[in-house]
Amino acid sequence: EPEVTQTPSHQVTQMGQEVILRCVPISNHLYFYWYRQILGQKVEFLVSFYNNEISEKSEIFDDQFSVERPDGSNFTLKIRSTKLEDSAMYFCASSTGQISNQPQHFGDGTRLSIL
């Protein structure tokens, strides 16, 4: 069964540094998402992406965050200047379409640790 793959599985970065988290969505999917889960808290929506544009973003997704689909297969999340509170598990997801009962498929996540 096709999977969403995320790299790296664990990223350790100094505060203030830029970090790029990478995702390869399922190949025929058109809608892409990033979520995060701070340790012990709920999974929170960050951003959705379709047709090379951001479709929706949450209040968490401020100017320090950006997303890109640079080459038609990868989908990246960049944090420009990391803060301690950015430490979390980041999940990428993808889906085939906009209809509400199309499930989102998730990757195994990248654990981001900011020192």
Partner 1 sequence: GDSVTQMEGPVTLSEEAFLTINCTYTATGYPSLFWYVQYPGEGLQLLLKATKADDKGSNKGFEATYRKETTSFHLEKGSVQVSDSAVYFCALMFSGGYNKLIFGAGTRLAVHP
Sole window of 11-19, 31-39, 64-72, 80-88 interacting with partner 1 (rule: CB under 8 A) = 31-39
Phi and psi at 105, nearest 5°, equal -100, 130
**Is residue 43 part of the contact set for partner 1 (CB under 8 A)?**
yes
**Is residue 96 part of the contact set for partner 1 (CB under 8 A)?**
no
Tell which residue, 37, 115, 28, 18, has the closest CA to residue 76: 18
Under DSSP, the state recorded for 41 is S
Tell which residue, 59, 47, 42, 39, has the closest CA to residue 94: 47
**Is residue 56 part of the contact set for partner 1 (CB under 8 A)?**
yes
Sole window of 17-25, 41-49, 60-68, 77-85 interacting with partner 1 (rule: CB under 8 A) = 41-49
Neighbours of 88 (CB within 10 A): 22
**Is residue 102 part of the contact set for partner 1 (CB under 8 A)?**
yes
d(CA 97, CA 1): 18
Sole window of 10-18, 20-28, 39-47, 63-71 interacting with partner 1 (rule: CB under 8 A) = 39-47
**Is residue 103 part of the contact set for partner 1 (CB under 8 A)?**
yes
CA distances from 90 to 98, 99, 100 (A): 22, 24, 23
Residues near partner 1 (CB under 8 A) are 4, 6, 31, 33, 35, 41-45, 48, 50, 55-56, 58, 91, 93, 95, 98-109
